């Protein structure tokens, strides 16, 4: 059997067999860990020097482009990963979550980086705050790479997605990653890293892989480094209490085991479609990945009067589940990941039976299908009922990390909320209700102790991704027992890996650091209209102060007739006098259109399209007789590596527009987004 290898300092290490790793399906040995010791000082030094150097030679946009290309490369070779993932006990659908969810997350973060991060390695987190009366002193925040390494200690249940959902935002943030997968399924993670390495897309030192233990790795970390962990709450506590982690205040993000709930609201009866939807969701979460998901439903809260009817619905669905070798036709649930995991789940079920009764799942008659499955880590789905869930303990404290859920009756919304809270902090809860008023009452209370909440009804069920599916654009994590950390959440995950720093200085200095024009900063004025300059030549701060235009009553009337906007403030002189403005005023959108007429260059040029406005505010009203002018300034340039449909390269330029009146008062303020052609 092959010996798994660590990938450190640009080399594969390992040739001597150590621990045997069996298939969860039939017990055959799939691979061995390696016996060679790892020099963790070399690992950290390589990441901190070679990795950082190669990553910071790129900017946010370039790293986003690499993520996109890497996702496409893994997608092309996904069948290799499906084949080896089968040995972890996964059905094709289970492996889809891990494999396609993994490279799908890379695609998502590639898009997130392209849309939301600038060129360069400084992200401006505005707005700028004026700190001096005359705008000579400003303050704002920037986000910059931490210039450290990131250690990811991952769980056994998602060896690919668990690695890539952490790697993607860390890579975007410019942090070299040292990945330590759980040993039981490390053969899948190693296969994925080999594919990644084969792509040749990652800069040297961006990703290192550790097979086996972490040795003295945590002792070698410094203040700029970062540690993430997914696994049990006990292990999370042990790791984040490491003396070096505490002494150096090294950021530690934990995602721990979680006693998640599903709540059937009291308005749903057995005759409702939502009743069947709820039962289906519970069974899906019990059997997907054989219940080995940190987001799986562990506690099923149902009104007293419906608990037995719900038990019958769930049992009926569970009775149709065929377990066994996922390659056998008709199999819908695979095995637990290992014999160790099987022992742990059986022990946890035994503890749960001290407070609950088993209504489905006794071993009698449970026969997984397939050759050699008697040596696999199979277990029947178990549905328990705790008739007295008001007491502490039982399923409120014990997690059987497998196909196990406990029904709990409740009496009234207040009690349902109290029972959900007994999980002491959870990753996710699903509330199934038909009544928006019930959702509005319960969700804000549940939100205090949960990282994510799904509201499920017949409409949402048509497209729901499911209770147990973390999505890249939404936060994954939860308070309390769930670890108190956050992952994913779109751009938020990238920000977690960056250092946020407040900066103060003159507008010109702040603009220089942020690479973004700040009102009051020095501008660049010349004889060439900014709209005539290509993306390559345009400089942040290039500006045009337009000629003036006096607004007339005819302007207001003509704009109202053209737009159909005959609001009284523009047309009813008597009514307008009674308002705070004391007179008729021009349409805000007329001011916007008139300003465009002042600064737009009408001839053919490199500005290709205006695709939106941001931060639009109408500040001072414009009345007939007022004279306006506009200042157009290049605020930000973002080189996304984009091209037009016919192949011509282009970049994104944001323009700051300030419209003032004859008193130099700001009347309108906004940003314009344009596509601008490159010369090359």
Looking at the fold, whether 85 and 226 belong to one and the same domain comes out as yes
CA 282 – CA 284 distance, rounded (Å): 5
Looking at the fold, whether 433 and 463 belong to one and the same domain comes out as yes
Give residue 318's pLDDT: 93
> Which of 123, 152, 121, 143 lies closest to 52, judged by CA?
121
Residue 423 is part of which domain span?
261-469
Give residue 392's pLDDT: 87
CATH number at residue 209: 3.40.605.10
Looking at the fold, whether 580 and 647 belong to one and the same domain comes out as yes
Looking at the fold, whether 440 and 419 belong to one and the same domain comes out as yes
What is the average per-residue pLDDT within 41-64? 96
What is the average per-residue pLDDT within 362-382? 88
Q: Is 183 helix (H, G, I), strand (E, B) or coil?
A: helix
Rounded to the nearest integer, the mean pLDDT of the chain is: 94
What is the average per-residue pLDDT within 651-674? 95
Is residue 82 in some structural domain? yes
Instruction: Quote the pTM value.
Output: 0.90
Give residue 248's pLDDT: 95
Residue 411 near residue 266, CB atoms below 8 Å = no
pLDDT class for 410, splitting at 50, 70, 90?
Answer: very high
Give residue 415's pLDDT: 96
Residues labelled as active-site residues? 255, 294
Residue 383 near residue 405, CB atoms below 8 Å = yes
What is the tens place of the pLDDT at every residue in 532-566? 999 999 999 999 999 999 999 999 999 999 999 99
Looking at the fold, whether 310 and 443 belong to one and the same domain comes out as yes
Looking at the fold, whether 327 and 459 belong to one and the same domain comes out as yes
Q: Is 677 helix (H, G, I), strand (E, B) or coil?
A: strand
Give residue 121's pLDDT: 95
Give residue 453's pLDDT: 96
Q: Is 462 helix (H, G, I), strand (E, B) or coil?
A: coil
What is the average per-residue pLDDT within 515-522? 93
- With a cut of 80, say whether residue 97 has pLDDT above it: yes
CA 231 – CA 314 distance, rounded (Å): 28
CATH number at residue 543: 3.10.129.10
Q: Per-residue DSSP letters for 315-332?
A: HHHHTT--BB-TTSTT--
Backbone angles phi, psi at 24, to 5 degrees: -70, -15
CATH number at residue 403: 3.40.309.10
- With a cut of 90, say whether residue 644 has pLDDT above it: no
What is the average per-residue pLDDT within 137-149? 96
Is residue 506 in some structural domain? no
Give residue 364's pLDDT: 66
Looking at the fold, whether 318 and 429 belong to one and the same domain comes out as yes
pLDDT class for 515, splitting at 50, 70, 90?
Answer: very high
CA 313 – CA 451 distance, rounded (Å): 29
Other CB atoms within a 10 A radius of the CB of residue 229 amount to 24
- With a cut of 90, say whether residue 287 has pLDDT above it: yes
Give residue 527's pLDDT: 86
pLDDT class for 202, splitting at 50, 70, 90?
Answer: very high
Is residue 195 in some structural domain? yes
- With a cut of 90, say whether residue 490 has pLDDT above it: yes
> Which of 276, 45, 252 lies closest to 151, judged by CA?
252
Q: How many residues does the chain have?
A: 680
Q: Is 162 helix (H, G, I), strand (E, B) or coil?
A: helix
Give residue 642's pLDDT: 78
Looking at the fold, whether 231 and 274 belong to one and the same domain comes out as no
What is the tens place of the pLDDT at every residue in 428-465? 999 999 999 999 999 999 999 999 999 999 999 999 99
> Which of 149, 193, 196 lies closest to 174, judged by CA?
149
Looking at the fold, whether 270 and 249 belong to one and the same domain comes out as no
- With a cut of 80, say whether residue 80 has pLDDT above it: yes
Backbone angles phi, psi at 49, to 5 degrees: -105, -65
Looking at the fold, whether 290 and 210 belong to one and the same domain comes out as no
pLDDT class for 366, splitting at 50, 70, 90?
Answer: confident
Looking at the fold, whether 430 and 370 belong to one and the same domain comes out as yes
Q: Per-residue DSSP letters for 325-378?
A: -TTSTT--B---S-HHHHHHHHHHHHHHTTT-EEEE--STT---BSTTGGGS--
CA 446 – CA 440 distance, rounded (Å): 11
Give residue 274's pLDDT: 96
78 Cβ contact list (under 8 Å, min separation 6): 99, 100, 103
Is residue 666 in some structural domain? yes
- With a cut of 90, say whether residue 648 has pLDDT above it: no
Is residue 282 in some structural domain? yes
What is the average per-residue pLDDT within 192-203? 96
Looking at the fold, whether 145 and 179 belong to one and the same domain comes out as yes
pLDDT class for 162, splitting at 50, 70, 90?
Answer: very high
Is residue 183 in some structural domain? yes
What is the average per-residue pLDDT within 457-476? 92
What is the tens place of the pLDDT at every residue in 204-215? 999 999 999 999
What total of structural domains would you count in the chain?
3
What is the tens place of the pLDDT at every residue in 586-626? 999 999 999 999 999 998 889 988 889 999 999 999 999 99
15 Cβ contact list (under 8 Å, min separation 6): 3, 5, 34, 36
What is the average per-residue pLDDT within 356-382? 89
646-650's contacts with Cβ under 8 Å and 24+ in sequence apart are 648/677, 648/678, 649/677, 649/678, 649/680, 650/535, 650/608, 650/675, 650/676, 650/677, 650/678
Is residue 190 in some structural domain? yes
The rounded percent of the chain whose pLDDT value lies above 90 is: 89
CA 530 – CA 398 distance, rounded (Å): 65
Is residue 63 in some structural domain? yes
Give residue 647's pLDDT: 79
Give residue 177's pLDDT: 98
> Which of 349, 258, 342, 338 lies closest to 297, judged by CA?
258
Pairing of strands 226-231, 11-13: unpaired
Residue 311 near residue 407, CB atoms below 8 Å = yes
Residue 205 near residue 46, CB atoms below 8 Å = yes
How far does Cα 16 stand from its chain's mean position? 39
Residue 180 near residue 193, CB atoms below 8 Å = no
Instruction: Report residue 93 as tokens.
Output: 């659908």
């Amino acid at each position: 059997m092959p010996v798994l290898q660590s990938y450190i300092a640009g080399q594969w290490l390992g040739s001597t067999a150590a621990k045997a790793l069996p298939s969860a399906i039939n017990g055959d040995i799939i691979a061995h860990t390696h016996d060679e010791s790892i020099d963790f000082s070399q690992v950290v030094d390589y990441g901190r020097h070679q990795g950082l150097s190669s990553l910071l030679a790129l900017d946010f946009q370039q790293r986003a482009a690499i993520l996109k290309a890497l996702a496409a490369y893994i997608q092309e070779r996904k069948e290799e990963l499906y084949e080896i993932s089968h040995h972890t006990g996964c059905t094709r659908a289970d492996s889809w979550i891990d494999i396609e969810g993994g490279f799908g997350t890379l695609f998502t973060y590639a898009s997130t980086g392209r849309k939301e991060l600038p060129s360069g390695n400084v992200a401006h987190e505005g707005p700028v705050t004026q700190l001096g009366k005359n705008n000579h002193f400003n303050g704002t925040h920037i986000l910059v790479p931490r210039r450290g390494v990131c250690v990811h200690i991952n769980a056994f249940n998602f060896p690919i997605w668990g690695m890539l959902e952490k790697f993607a935002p860390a890579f975007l943030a410019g942090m070299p990653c040292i990945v330590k997968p759980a040993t039981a399924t490390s053969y899948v993670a190693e296969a994925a890293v080999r594919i990644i390495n084969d792509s040749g897309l990652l800069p040297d030192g961006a990703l290192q892989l550790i097979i086996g233990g972490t040795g003295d790795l945590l002792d070698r970390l410094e203040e700029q480094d970062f540690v993430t962990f997914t696994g049990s709450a006990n292990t999370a506590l042990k790791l984040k209490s490491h003396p070096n982690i505490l002494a150096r205040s090294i950021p530690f993000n934990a995602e721990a085991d979680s006693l998640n709930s599903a709540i059937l609201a009291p308005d749903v009866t057995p005759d409702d479609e939502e009743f069947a939807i709820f039962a289906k969701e519970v069974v899906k979460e019990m059997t997907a990945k054989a219940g080995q998901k940190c987001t799986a439903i562990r506690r099923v809260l149902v009104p007293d009067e419906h608990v037995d009817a719900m038990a019958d619905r769930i049992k009926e669905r569970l009775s149709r589940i065929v377990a066994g070798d996922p390659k056998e036709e008709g199999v819908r649930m695979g095995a637990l990941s290992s014999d160790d995991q099987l022992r742990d789940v059986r022990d946890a079920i035994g503890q749960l039976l001290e407070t609950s009764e088993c209504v489905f799942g006794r071993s009698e008659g449970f026969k997984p299908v397939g050759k050699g499955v008697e040596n696999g880590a199979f277990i029947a789905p178990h549905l328990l009922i705790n008739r007295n869930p008001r007491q502490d303990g039982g399923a409120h404290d014990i997690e059987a990390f497998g196909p196990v859920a406990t029904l709990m009756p409740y009496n009234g919304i207040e009690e349902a909320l109290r029972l959900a809270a007994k999980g002491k902090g959870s990753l996710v809860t699903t509330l199934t209700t038909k009544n928006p008023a019930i959702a509005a009452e319960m969700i804000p209370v549940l939100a205090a102790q949960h990282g994510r909440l799904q509201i499920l009804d017949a409409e949402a069920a048509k497209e729901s991704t499911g209770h147990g599916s973390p999505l890249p654009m939404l936060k994954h994590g939860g308070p309390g027992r769930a670890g108190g950390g956050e992952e994913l959440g779109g751009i938020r995950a990238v920000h977690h890996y960056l250092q946020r720093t407040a900066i103060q200085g003159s507008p010109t200095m702040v603009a220089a650091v942020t690479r973004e024009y700040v009102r009051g900063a020095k501008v660049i004025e010349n004889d060439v209209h900014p709209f005539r300059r290509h993306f390559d030549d345009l400089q942040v701060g290039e500006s045009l102060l337009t000629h003036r235009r006096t607004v007339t009553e005819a302007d207001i009337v003509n704009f109202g007739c053209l737009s159909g906007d005959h609001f009284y403030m523009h047309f009813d002189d008597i009514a307008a006098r009674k308002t705070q403005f004391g007179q008729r005023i021009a349409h805000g959108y007329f001011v916007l259109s008139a300003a465009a007429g002042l600064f737009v260059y009408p001839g053919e040029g490199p500005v290709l399209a205006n695709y939106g406005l941001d931060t639009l505010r109408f500040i001072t009203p414009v009345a007939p007789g007022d004279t306006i002018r506009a200042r157009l300034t290049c605020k930000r340039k973002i080189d996304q590596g984009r091209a037009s449909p016919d192949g011509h390269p282009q970049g994104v330029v944001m323009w700051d527009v300030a419209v003032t009146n004859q008193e130099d008062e700001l009347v309108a303020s906004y940003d314009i987004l344009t596509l601008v052609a490159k010369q090359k």
